[in-house]
Amino acid sequence: MDTKKKIADRIKQVIGEGSVSAFARKAGIYESLLRQYVAGSMPGADKLVAIARAAHVNLEWLATGEGPMDAPPRPTLKVRESAADYHGVETGAPAGYVVAAQPRVIDRSGEKDTLVGGQALDYLAFKADWVRTELGADPERLALVRAVGDAMAPTLSAGDLLLLDYSFDRIKQDAIYAIAVDGALQIKRIQRLLDGALLIKSDNPVYQEQHVMAEHAGEVPVVGRVVWTGKRR
């Protein structure tokens, strides 16, 4: 059995008896694309991440069949007493806090902010009530990444921490978003125009803005909205 068929079988397994359409909405993937994956087409890395996240399964298992099916538990966490304080101690997350993981580091590759593995992992804990009231974000759907490069300068600098609310899978308001393109993560300012079209921009004027027609706006693979930044000291 070839790799594509094995991945397709695992995707069918996580969808189970549910609706393909409902699962596609949950994963933020077009139903037509998901049906192609079920039929044997090879998903891109960003789509595999979206499917694994929606199904709450281990990404390695989904992609390769290796390891446990269930998503692994969080390891011991380095907790920060506040969002602005990076000097913490090794402990578990205290009551009333929510942990955001930093699973990857963003690096520069041409005009892209590319996900790079093998970097030191870190974690931050935020007060759940503060996340809800001050950030207007879902405390259970947070991810932490570190920016490297100058595409979003002067707003964001190399080394800044970015907190993503990945409950945002569509562009509903003007903001800074993380989007996945061919397996690479890009941090961009995205403006929604009156006709539904999108302008995808870098704050650094050196980089060219991109225009996405309204009929293709839903195809932009949104990973999450940037809801907080921690400036490098």
Q: Model confidence over 191-217: pLDDT tens digits? A: 999 999 999 999 999 999 999 999 989
∠ Cα 202 207 210 (to 5°): 70
The residue extents of the domains of the chain are 3-64, 77-230
Out of 1.10.260.40, 3.30.2000.10, 3.30.450.40, 3.40.1190.20, the CATH code matching 3-64 is 1.10.260.40
DSSP annotation string for 200-230: EE-SSTTSPPEEE-GGGGGGS-EEEEEEEEE
pLDDT exceeds cutoff 50 at 91: no
Compute the mean pLDDT over every residue in the chain, rounded to the nearest whole number. 76
CATH level 2 (architecture), domain 77-230? Ribbon (2.10)
**Residue with more model confidence, 146 or 118:** 146
Let me know how long the chain is: 233
Contact 125, 113 (CB under 8 A): no
Percent of the chain whose pLDDT exceeds 70 = 73
Token look-up 């402990």 returns 91
What string of DSSP letters covers the chain? --HHHHHHHHHHHHHTTS-HHHHHHHHT--HHHHHHHHHTPPPPHHHHHHHHHHHTB-HHHHHHS-S-SBPPPP--EEE-SSTT----EEEPPPTTEEEEEE-EEEEEETTEEEEE-SSPPEEEEEEHHHHHHHH---TTSEEEEE--SSTTTTTS-TT-EEEEETT--S--SSEEEEEEETTEEEEEEEEE-TTS-EEEE-SSTTSPPEEE-GGGGGGS-EEEEEEEEE---
CB atoms within 10 A of CB 61: 18
Tell me how far apart the alpha carbons of residues 6 and 72 are, in angstroms, rounded to a whole number: 21
87 pLDDT higher than 70: no
Which segment of 64-78, 83-97, 148-162, 203-217 scores lowest on mean pLDDT?
83-97
* Per-residue model confidence (pLDDT) at position 148: 64
108-134 pLDDT, tens digit per residue, is 333 334 344 333 335 677 788 888 888
Which residue, 151, 140, 49, is CA-closest to 101? 140
Residue 122 has what pLDDT?
Answer: 52
